[in-house]
Amino acid sequence: MSKNTSTRSNLPNNPSTPARFDLSHSELKYTAKKLRRHVITMIAKAGSGHPGGSLSAADIVTTLYFKALHHDPKNPHWPDRDRFVLSKGHAAPILYAALAECSYFPVSELATLRKLGSRLQGHTDMRLTPGVEMSSGSLGQGLSFGIGIALAGKMDTRNYHVYVLLGDGECDEGQVWEAAMFAAHHNVDNLTAIVDHNMLQLDGRCCDIMGLEPLADKWKSFNWHVLEIDGHDISQILPALDKAKATKGKPTVIIANTIKGKGVSFMENNVDFHGKAPNAQETETALKELE
């Protein structure tokens, strides 16, 4: 795919037909970098936002929206679409970037992030933004929400899959583990949780604030199918998503080991950029690194 070629592939006119974006490995890598540039640009223009956790999730979100998910920007409420729930809602910029590049709304609208009257607020709002499945704010709620959607799909005999992206700091929330227990008990196997395990949260290192380890063993003890991957390696992300979807009888969690601020040297593993916009010089440097 050339840089001027649309990322859209085989989108249906008939909403009953499964929609596909089907980029190659190299195209996915290029698109992830493009989405990272959008994240930097829109947060810098807004003067506020959360770059670190948006950048760490970029490869995961790219692979979902441009390869794994069945979805249709022309019909955002298509009943058989796969659902993506952004539980770590402060990472809204990376979701907005993906939705814009998929043509849910114009790319130019990214410049309105966090502005009064904009459809792109600091946390997602499903009432405002096409393609957004859950309104977010308080952490810890997305997995419960995703379970509800997944159970509804089973009850309605729909063939869609639900993906929920959690932050590792978010896993400090007790509701996450209550939901995990419920999903396993009810064999919610059309659900995949993905933990963006970048090891930093608002106030510092996760291990200093509330130790998560052994994280994989915790999920296993709740009777989940557990996969661990490099969350920046598309050659690992894709097979993990395929394995998760093929697993029956229990839900799957993918623990994606990532780097906060991935792709921008001075943001990587830097807790300061959890929720701080880059200044003009930092923005210029970041965009050069992402060329």
pLDDT digits (tens, 9 = 90+) for 55-110: 999 999 999 999 999 999 999 999 999 999 999 999 999 999 999 999 999 999 99
Question: Quick one: pLDDT at residue 254?
Answer: 98
CA–CA distance, 141 with 60 (Å, rounded to integer) = 20
CA–CA distance, 121 with 160 (Å, rounded to integer) = 27
Q: Which domains does the chain have, with CATH numbers?
A: 25-289 (3.40.50.970)
Torsion of Cα atoms, 157 then 160 then 166 then 172, to 10° = 10
Are the C-beta atoms of 41 and 110 separated by less than 8 Å? Answer: yes
Sheet holding 225-230, edge to edge: 83-86, 162-167, 191-197, 252-257, 225-230
CA–CA distance, 10 with 84 (Å, rounded to integer) = 20
User: Which residues neighbour 148 within 8 Å (Cβ) at sequence distance 6 or greater?
Assistant: none
Residue-wise pLDDT for 26-42, tens only, equals 999 999 999 999 999 99
Residue-wise pLDDT for 157-181, tens only, equals 999 999 999 999 999 999 999 999 9
Does the pLDDT of residue 208 top 90, yes or no?
no
Percent of the chain residues topping a pLDDT of 70 = 93
Helices (H) and strands (E) in the chain, counts: 10, 7
Average pLDDT in the chain: 93
Residue-wise pLDDT for 225-271, tens only, equals 999 999 999 999 999 999 999 999 999 999 999 999 999 999 999 99
Closest CA to 263 of 62, 12, 88: 62
CA–CA distance, 279 with 200 (Å, rounded to integer) = 22
CA–CA distance, 102 with 279 (Å, rounded to integer) = 28
Question: Quick one: pLDDT at residue 16?
Answer: 47
